[in-house]
């Protein structure tokens, strides 16, 4: 599993794939909204920080003037075609490897290897355990057989391009959960409740706290055996989130319980709890974090968040991610924001004589990719 080396590896350790087909204006607007609803009457989804950032920074990549209007932007995008648009943004992002969560609306997006091919860079997969559980139920399974079937399905999903597991417990049962492992009998009872819920609603959506605890404990044990990290959705990044319950410190007792296993656990996005995440990364040797997503969505103010993220945590514990979803713009913009914000914070440190230029380069090397290479075991080609 070799990662091509640029001058400095940029490992996007948490992202989704892109939409391979063309997007009409409404579809494009929908993808720059966390809500599934249209913008209120008299307003547009373009009129937010991320919309402004796309008009400023992505328009020129499509040969438009900076600050092109949203309508013109989508028209030009259609003119060039999705393949060319995606190729341009991915190429120019500077990202050297993609670690892709494949469990969110896979039908809408291309596959992780199609993403890698479009970027001409290696791509890896992260298995979203909740998606596996839902697949198991869709395939047909009784309550008694659920635990074994789920565990077997997760194990079966671990082909040689899989470099991690992921859980979205944050926006299913929230992080305010019993930190202990459930018994097999508890899981069976919970699976039985879930089957009744599927029967009643026709929708297959995992949410029961017991089943999420099973995911956390089985996942950690499997990760330990296989040498994989586990990713945790934290803070913002989904309209289903009940924010106060997505503070990663709700998982403290769980983290303490599994700490001896030494499984790297990565806290994703974290905003507005990135300070908490940084402290947890200091307190636990196996915890890592990033401030992805918000670097795209915070528009011109993205630098603040990076500055706060660098307040407390060890430099060997922070990671880079875009959390791009659907739009290749978000890889380009997210990588640019990440590089600029890290540069601007460290340049300020150098200016204050608080950091040497050499050490600033070392910090960039760690956070941009080396930390991810170490914990995801992505051997750099040149090493």
Site for its own copies in 53-92 (CB under 8 A): 53, 56, 66-67
Q: Is 380 in the site for its own copies (CB under 8 A)?
A: no
Q: Is 187 in the site for its own copies (CB under 8 A)?
A: no
The dihedral formed by the CA atoms of 75, 80, 82 and 85, expressed in degrees to the nearest 10: -100
Of 86 and 321, CB closest to its own copies:
321
Among 20, 30, 52, 61, binds its own copies (CB under 8 A): 52
Q: Do 287 and 262 meet the contact criterion of CB atoms below 8 Å apart? A: no
Site stretch for its own copies (CB under 8 A), options 13-21, 139-147, 184-192, 275-283: 275-283
Q: Is 113 in the site for its own copies (CB under 8 A)?
A: no
Site stretch for its own copies (CB under 8 A), options 79-87, 96-104, 149-157, 349-357: 349-357
CB of 283 to its own copies, least distance (A): 5
Burial of 17 (0-12, 13-18, 19+ CB in 10 A): buried
Buried b (16+ CB within 10 A) or exposed e, 167-185: bbbbbbbbbebebebbeee
Q: Is 107 in the site for its own copies (CB under 8 A)?
A: no
Coil/strand/helix, residue 129: helix
Determine the Cα–Cα distance for residues 195 and 198; give it in Å rounded to an integer: 5
Of 21 and 66, CB closest to its own copies:
66
Q: Is 301 in the site for its own copies (CB under 8 A)?
A: yes
Site stretch for its own copies (CB under 8 A), options 155-163, 192-200, 291-299, 319-327: 291-299
Size of the site for its own copies (CB under 8 A): 72
Token duo for residue 304: 């603040």
Residues from 163 through 182 that contact its own copies (CB under 8 A): none
Determine the Cα–Cα distance for residues 222 and 228; give it in Å rounded to an integer: 8
Determine the Cα–Cα distance for residues 1 and 159; give it in Å rounded to an integer: 12
Q: Is 253 in the site for its own copies (CB under 8 A)?
A: yes
Q: Is 137 in the site for its own copies (CB under 8 A)?
A: no
**Bridge partners of residue 165, in order along the sequence:** 127, 230
Token duo for residue 80: 């060039």
Instruction: Pick the closest to residue 218 from 290, 138, 133, 293 (CA basis).
Output: 133
Site stretch for its own copies (CB under 8 A), options 144-152, 153-161, 217-225, 271-279: 271-279
Among 144, 285, 361, 381, binds its own copies (CB under 8 A): 285
Of 142 and 347, CB closest to its own copies:
347
Q: Do 237 and 270 meet the contact criterion of CB atoms below 8 Å apart? A: no
Of 69 and 148, CB closest to its own copies:
69
Determine the Cα–Cα distance for residues 374 and 140; give it in Å rounded to an integer: 38
Of 197 and 308, CB closest to its own copies:
308
Determine the Cα–Cα distance for residues 33 and 20; give it in Å rounded to an integer: 19
Q: Is 356 in the site for its own copies (CB under 8 A)?
A: yes
Token duo for residue 175: 């992080």
The dihedral formed by the CA atoms of 165, 332, 89 and 364, expressed in degrees to the nearest 10: -80
Residues from 217 through 246 that contact its own copies (CB under 8 A): 236, 239, 241-245
Q: Is 339 in the site for its own copies (CB under 8 A)?
A: no
Residues from 19 through 38 that contact its own copies (CB under 8 A): 33-35, 37-38
């Amino acid at each position: 599993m070799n990662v091509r080396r640029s001058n400095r590896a940029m490992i996007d350790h948490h992202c989704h794939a892109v939409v391979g087909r063309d997007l009409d204006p409404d579809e494009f607007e929908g993808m720059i909204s966390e809500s599934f609803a249209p913008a209120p009457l008299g307003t547009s989804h373009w009129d937010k920080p991320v919309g402004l950032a796309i008009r400023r920074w992505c328009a020129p990549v499509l040969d438009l003037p900076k600050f092109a209007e949203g309508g013109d932007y989508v028209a030009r995008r259609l003119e060039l075609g999705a393949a060319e648009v995606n190729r341009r943004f991915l190429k120019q992002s500077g990202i050297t490897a993609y670690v892709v969560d494949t469990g969110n609306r896979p039908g809408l997006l291309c596959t992780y290897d199609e993403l890698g091919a479009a970027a001409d860079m290696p791509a890896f997969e992260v298995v979203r355990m909740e998606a596996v559980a839902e697949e198991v139920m869709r395939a047909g399974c009784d309550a008694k057989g659920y635990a074994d079937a789920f565990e077997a399905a997760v194990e079966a999903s671990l082909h040689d391009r899989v470099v991690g597991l992921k859980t979205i417990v944050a926006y299913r049962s929230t992080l305010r959960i019993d930190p202990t492992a459930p018994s097999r009998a508890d899981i069976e009872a919970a699976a039985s409740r879930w089957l009744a819920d599927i029967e009643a609603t026709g929708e297959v959506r995992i949410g029961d706290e017991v089943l999420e605890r099973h995911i956390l404990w089985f996942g950690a044990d499997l990760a330990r055996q296989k040498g994989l990290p586990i990713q945790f959705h934290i803070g913002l990044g989904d309209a289903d989130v009940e924010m106060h319950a997505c503070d990663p410190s709700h998982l403290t007792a769980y983290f303490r319980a599994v700490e001896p296993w030494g499984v790297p656990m990565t806290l994703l996005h974290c905003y507005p709890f990135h300070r908490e995440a940084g402290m947890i990364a200091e307190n636990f040797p196996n915890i890592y974090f990033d401030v992805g997503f918000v670097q795209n969505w915070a528009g011109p103010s993205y630098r603040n968040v990076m500055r706060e993220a660098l307040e407390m945590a060890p430099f060997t514990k922070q990671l880079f991610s875009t959390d791009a979803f659907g739009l290749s713009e978000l890889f380009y913009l997210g990588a640019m924001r990440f590089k600029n914000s890290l540069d601007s914070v460290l340049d300020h440190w150098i200016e204050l004589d608080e950091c040497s230029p050499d050490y600033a380069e070392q910090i960039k090397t760690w956070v941009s990719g080396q930390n991810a290479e170490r914990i995801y075991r992505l051997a750099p080609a040149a090493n």
